[in-house]
């Protein structure tokens, strides 16, 4: 089986994959100080629950936007899973999709992997909206491939900044409030976060569409996609496994070279 690891700024996802299918996935908080031994003790329990063993893993593919976390994850791979992980780099991405930005080496691995998955599974010009640590909108066109996009503060980051900067504002859950106009502090904050981000994403999709010259297919992914996407008419599909699909495609291509 293949173990796909997606290291994000907030969470790290581990997924057991067979063929093109994601069989099981688990996530933990990204922590560059977590050792390979700590990962192994946590992951071994989750494997056992699903009746798997470390020896079932034959290969590993990893995408990371947190370089400081890579060393300990590679230690996990070598010491406990006896694999050298295939790392996502610009070189592993370019066989699948063009990267048309000023400096391709600086593109986030997660954005590129998502673009590969979109090109593979949807075969369409698209805007990819990722509701993660940052809220990102990536543009994918037939002529230019991945051609950049927009990076905005993520929903949780904005909420945390608001609460930390205003002494009397409480921390609230991210959810749709009963009305747009909040009749109390909690509902007013929820409306600002919920409808504020929906309005931002709608506006950015519209501006990108105008710049492209037409309305492309819009796909949402990321941890909060299921909360926001149903209220954004332009979003046509939510694919929470988009990054994992991209990792599987890159892995398959790299193995064929060996």
d(CA 121, CA 174) in angstroms, rounded, equals 30
Above pLDDT 70, what percent of the chain? 100
What does residue 227 show for φ and ψ, rounded to 5 degrees? -80, -45
Model confidence band, residue 185 (pLDDT cutoffs 50, 70, 90): very high
- If asked whether residues 213 and 151 sit together in one domain, one would say yes
d(CA 247, CA 118) in angstroms, rounded, equals 12
Using the 3D structure, point to which of 87, 108, 126 is the last residue of a domain.
87
Residue 240 clears pLDDT 80, i.e. is over it:
yes
- Catalytic residue (one of 110, 119, 239, 241): 110
- Which one-letter DSSP state was computed for residue 237? E
Domain that holds residue 53: 2-87
Assess if residue 253 is contained within a domain: no
Tokens 């927009």, residue located: 150
Starting at the edge strand found earlier in the chain, the sheet holding 11-18 runs: 21-29, 11-18, 2-7, 59-64, 86-87
Assess if residue 258 is contained within a domain: no
Please tell me the predicted confidence (pLDDT) of residue 123.
77
For CA atoms 142, 5, 245, 11, the dihedral sign is negative
Please tell me the predicted confidence (pLDDT) of residue 256.
85
- If asked whether residues 78 and 124 sit together in one domain, one would say no
- If asked whether residues 83 and 169 sit together in one domain, one would say no
Assess if residue 79 is contained within a domain: yes
Overall number of domains in the chain: 2
Question: Chain-centre distance of CA 67, in angstroms?
Answer: 16
Please tell me the predicted confidence (pLDDT) of residue 114.
96
pLDDT, the chain, mean: 95
Taking only the tens place, the pLDDT of each residue in 85-104 is 999 999 999 999 999 999 99
Residue 186, SS3? helix
37 belongs to the catalytic site? no
Torsion of CA 230, 15, 11, 172, to 10 degrees: 40
Please tell me the predicted confidence (pLDDT) of residue 124.
79
Using the 3D structure, point to which of 87, 119, 137 is the last residue of a domain.
87
Q: Which residues contact 112 (CB under 8 A, 6 or more apart)?
A: 88, 90, 93, 97, 99, 146, 246
CATH of the domain at 27: 3.30.420.40
Q: CB–CB of 6/243 below 8 Å?
A: yes
| Partners of 237 in beta bridges | 219
Q: CB–CB of 141/209 below 8 Å?
A: no
Assess if residue 219 is contained within a domain: yes
- Helices then strands, counting H and E runs in the chain, come out as 8, 10
- Compute the average pLDDT of residues 235-241: 96
Task: Please give the model's pTM, rounded to 2 decimal places.
Answer: 0.93
Using the 3D structure, point to which of 52, 70, 87 is the last residue of a domain.
87
- If asked whether residues 79 and 98 sit together in one domain, one would say no
Please tell me the predicted confidence (pLDDT) of residue 2.
97
């Amino acid at each position: 089986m293949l173990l796909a690891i997606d290291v994000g700024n907030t969470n790290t996802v581990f997924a057991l994959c067979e063929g093109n299918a994601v069989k099981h996935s688990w996530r933990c908080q990204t922590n560059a100080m977590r050792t390979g031994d700590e990962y192994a003790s946590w992951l071994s329990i989750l494997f056992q629950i699903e009746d798997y063993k470390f020896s079932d893993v034959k290969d590993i593919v990893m995408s990371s936007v947190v370089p400081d976390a890579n060393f300990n994850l590679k230690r996990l791979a070598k010491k406990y899973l006896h694999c050298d992980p295939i790392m996502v780099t610009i070189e592993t991405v370019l066989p699948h999709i063009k990267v048309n930005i000023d400096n391709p080496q600086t593109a986030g691995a997660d954005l590129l992997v998502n673009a590969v998955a979109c090109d593979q599974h949807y075969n369409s010009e698209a805007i990819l909206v990722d509701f993660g640590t940052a809220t990102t909108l990536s543009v994918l066109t037939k002529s230019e491939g991945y051609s950049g996009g927009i990076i905005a503060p993520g929903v949780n980051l904005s909420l945390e900044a608001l609460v930390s900067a205003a002494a009397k504002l409480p921390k609230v859950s991210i959810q749709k409030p009963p009305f747009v106009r909040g009749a109390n502090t909690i509902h007013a904050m929820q409306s600002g976060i919920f409808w504020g981000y929906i309005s931002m994403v709608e506006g950015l999709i519209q501006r990108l569409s105008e710049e492209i010259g037409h309305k492309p297919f819009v796909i949402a992914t990321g941890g909060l996609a299921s909360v926001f996407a149903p209220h954004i008419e332009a979003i046509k599909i939510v694919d929470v496994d988009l990054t994992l699909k991209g990792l599987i495609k890159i892995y398959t291509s790299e193995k064929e070279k060996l």
